Amino acid sequence: MPIYKTPGVYVEEISRLPPSVAEVSTAIPAFLGYTEKGPAMARISSLLEYTATFGGAKPTAFVASSTTDPSSGLPTITLTDPAATTGPSPDRLLYYAVSHYFANGGGPCYIFSLGDYTAPLAKADFLKAINLLALEDEPTLIVLTDAVLLASGDYFELAQAALSQCARLKDRFTILDVPKGDVTAFRNQIGVDYLSYGAAYHPYLRTSLNFAVDESKIQVKVTDAPVPPTIKEVQFPANDANGMVISFQSTDAASTPKVQLVGGDNAQAIDISVANGKPTLIITNVAGGKTAKQVVDRWTTVKAGLQASNFDIRLQGNGSAALQPTPAGDGVDLVKVGGGAPPTPVLNDIKLSDTARYNQIKDALSRQRVTLPPSAAIAGIYARVDRDRGVWKAPANVGVMAMISVDKKMTDADQESLNVDPTAGKSINAIRDFTGKGTIVWGARTLAGNDNEWRYVPVRRLFITIEENTRKASGFAVFEPNDATTWLKVRGMIESYLYSLWERGALAGSTPEAAYYVNVGLGKTMTPQDVLEGRLIVEIGIAAVRPAEFIVLRFMHKLQQA
């Protein structure tokens, strides 16, 4: 109360309204994994921002096996991924996962980079990132992403650490995958603690995302039947400025076309250069060999007094080499090295020399699609449903975007054992393909599937949201007088917030009184001892809406009335 000592008119503003509750974002995931570059942690809002900050995907080193169809004459391409055991799969998932997250409606998120693509997968890196994540207040979802590439035991240890953090902080939720689709191993190793703070989804998703590739790392193996080599002696004078192009059609690595380079009549030394200088060209002489990578721009093939020399010029597959005479002079001597099998060519080596095969391989690469664990897409769906409907709406019976199909189709009977686990209640939510609908999320249970209070994902996430919002909004009351005036302010603020939720359909009940209650006061929630010890205790009860998981339509005969 101000004390006035000078005569005059004074204005006082009296607050009659209780403080309000500002709602926090409900779906801000934190992704853990490896990136091409960038800082250890950053908040991003788009894939473009991710690329600018952390770079792109790690290219997959495919091996392209090519066989020419004898009837059509066109190459038949088979792509394999030496690093994968069950089919082409990226060995670092984070970029693709974030892409799928944004494709499914995701918004702002946090990226925790554990290192670049040269860093080995390590459980310790993930544990360190999870501990750092506890220092960030905004994230509300945890997605382990690259952790599914670890050994299963390591993954489950990380999952338990994430669930433990969610239960301790009470402001976040964990979305888990089922590594390798092994449901039994998942249930046996996920543990029994804090299960209401997480949900698992199964199976993996065959997305519409393309693999990132580097043409210099795509090996090309030609398995055509060998074509008999053409052997021809060619001669041209040293002063021929036009040069000569010689094409070889042999694909038999054991047969090397012979070209004899003959000097002029005056035995003048000739410098020869390879015009296209492709690294696939292998040049050998009788004393050894050398790849074009090791040859500087020019090299001496015939020295003074030497009339001729025999060389093998071998191309990987079909192609040509241009031999051009250059003015005589002091070239770089050919370094003689031991022979050996020619290196396997890579895709960009055959771009000009074997265009048809190059285009066929490029087309085959463009048709490869990335298979991903579903957690990132589910995080995007959480964000989309929260934005469109509210956190109290189950993130189920909604489509998965950027999809081709699920990795494993299932029937109603298959899903029964996933949805209801009579042994330990560890429910796993199914993602299924439905004719005419596409790929649909068909489950909304937490891992605590036998817990009547926390069985459903939207119930747990609604409580997390209400608890976090009211906790932050009640901060004004700290160190305020612990009396009826403060109690009334706190109660009015919380009741106003819950009323707004009830109006939006988050709480069940035909009246506000049926949907929630807020109690605070001496003799209600506190004893005199509580007041003496500085405690202000508020009791809040809410009737959260629950999803209609099983809709039963009962039909019966009705007797004819007339």
Bridge partners, 79 (sequence order)? 64
Quick one: CA dihedral 121, 123, 128, 129, positive or negative? positive
Selection from 321, 301, 328, 299 nearest residue 238 by Cα: 328
Selection from 376, 371, 432 nearest residue 143 by Cα: 376
Would you state the pLDDT for residue 133? Answer: 97
Would you state the pLDDT for residue 83? Answer: 65
- What are the chain's domains? 29-57+92-204+373-459 (3.40.50.11780), 224-342 (2.60.120), 480-562 (no CATH)
* One-letter amino acid of 521: G
Bridge partners, 66 (sequence order)? 77, 222
Would you state the pLDDT for residue 345? Answer: 81
Would you state the pLDDT for residue 265? Answer: 34
* One-letter amino acid of 379: A
180 is written with which tokens?
A: 């390798």
Question: What pLDDT digit, counting tens, does each position of 291-315 carry?
Answer: 333 333 333 443 333 333 333 333 3
- If DSSP codes are grouped into helix, strand and coil, which group holds residue 291? strand
265 is written with which tokens?
A: 């009549």
pTM higher than 0.85? no
pLDDT 10s per residue in the chain (562 long)?
788 899 999 998 888 887 899 898 999 999 999 999 988 999 999 999 999 999 999 999 888 888 877 777 776 888 887 666 555 678 899 999 999 999 999 999 999 999 999 999 999 999 999 999 999 999 999 999 999 999 989 999 999 999 999 999 999 999 999 999 999 999 999 999 999 999 999 999 999 999 999 998 898 888 764 444 443 334 444 444 444 444 444 444 444 433 434 333 333 333 344 433 333 333 333 223 333 333 333 334 433 333 333 333 333 333 333 343 333 333 322 222 233 445 678 888 888 888 888 898 899 999 999 999 999 999 999 999 999 999 999 999 999 999 999 999 999 999 999 999 988 899 999 999 999 999 999 999 999 999 999 999 999 999 999 999 999 999 999 999 999 999 999 999 999 999 999 999 999 999 999 999 999 999 999 999 999 999 999 999 999 999 999 999 999 999 988 7
Q: In Å, how far from its chain's centre is CA 187?
A: 24
Rounded to whole angstroms, how far apart are CA atoms 445 and 428?
Answer: 7
- If DSSP codes are grouped into helix, strand and coil, which group holds residue 401? coil
Rounded to whole angstroms, how far apart are CA atoms 545 and 67?
Answer: 61
